[in-house]
Amino acid sequence: MLLERTTRVNFLYDFYHSLLTDKQRAYMQAYYLDDYSLGEIAEEHEVSRQAVYDNVKRTEAMLEQYEEKLKLFEKFQQRMEIIQQLEEQLQVMDKERITALLHTLKEYE
Amino acid sequence: MLLERTTRVNFLYDFYHSLLTDKQRAYMQAYYLDDYSLGEIAEEHEVSRQAVYDNVKRTEAMLEQYEEKLKLFEKFQQRMEIIQQLEEQLQVMDKERITALLHTLKEYE
């Protein structure tokens, strides 16, 4: 599994897990957060390895669809970038720049 | 229609409209944003007034369910409150307090 891909799925899961079913959450949690293999998860839930794989892949696609519609992860990253800039500007106490950054931050829902 | 209720639905619509169907969006837009009556919307779409009413009520319930799960409106209000506090602290340039508020702001997804 590529690390970057795993990180993204973890973030998307963090933002949208409340919209998933209990089973989807159980598989995703086991596979991505607790690092169990597909085979181990299949054994635990008494289903085929393929069934777990299909469920996980479908859930990943759902998470990407939610992100496409709501863009919570994207907006979160943008806000974090602005907050970082605010912290930098705070070091030099540039009041005008800080005010402008706060204004930008307010634009984000 | 109570003003407070309308404001809330408008906000929820703003946050979650991407998760609705085209028909749901059309009815909600007409009723809440463009202020048409249920009768006018029914005539325009050649359906019964009751059908429009049921659709709008179901959509409102869906928006509340999404808010219950994702809490985007609630988190938005909390962030806005912190940003307002930041702006106030910026007037007196209380660096320590500003840093603390930025830290709190980062906690929000």
Place of tokens 């169907």: B21
Q: Which residues of chain A lie closer than 8 angstroms to B67, CB-CB?
A: none
A88 and A101 Cβ atoms separated by less than 8 Å: no
Chain B hits for A14, Cβ within 8 Å: 109
At residue A2 the predicted structure's pLDDT band, cuts being 50, 70 and 90, is low
* Confidence check: pLDDT of B1 > 60: no
Count of C-beta atoms within a 10 Å radius of residue B24: 18
Instruction: Please judge whether A109 and B76 are an interchain contact, meaning their C-beta atoms are less than 8 angstroms apart.
Output: yes
Q: Cβ separation of B83 and A102 shorter than 8 Å? A: yes
pLDDT bin (cut points 50, 70, 90) of residue B93 is confident
Query: How many residue pairs from chains A and B have C-beta atoms closer than 8 A?
Result: 50
Note the pLDDT tens digit of each residue in A10-31: 999 999 999 999 999 999 999 9
Chain A residues in contact with B90 (beta carbon < 8 A) = 95, 98-99, 102
What single string gives the DSSP state of each residue in B96-109? HHHHHHHHHHHT--
> How close B43 gets to chain A, by Cα (Å)?
31
Q: Residue B3: pLDDT above 80?
A: no
Are the C-beta atoms of residues A81 and A89 closer than 8 Å to each other? no
Q: Which of B11, B12, B34, B23 is nearest to B56 (CA)?
A: B23
Three-state secondary structure call for residue B2: coil
Is B3-70 CATH 1.10.10.10? yes
- Classify residue A19 by its DSSP letter: G
Q: For chain A, what are the domain ranges?
A: 3-70, 74-106
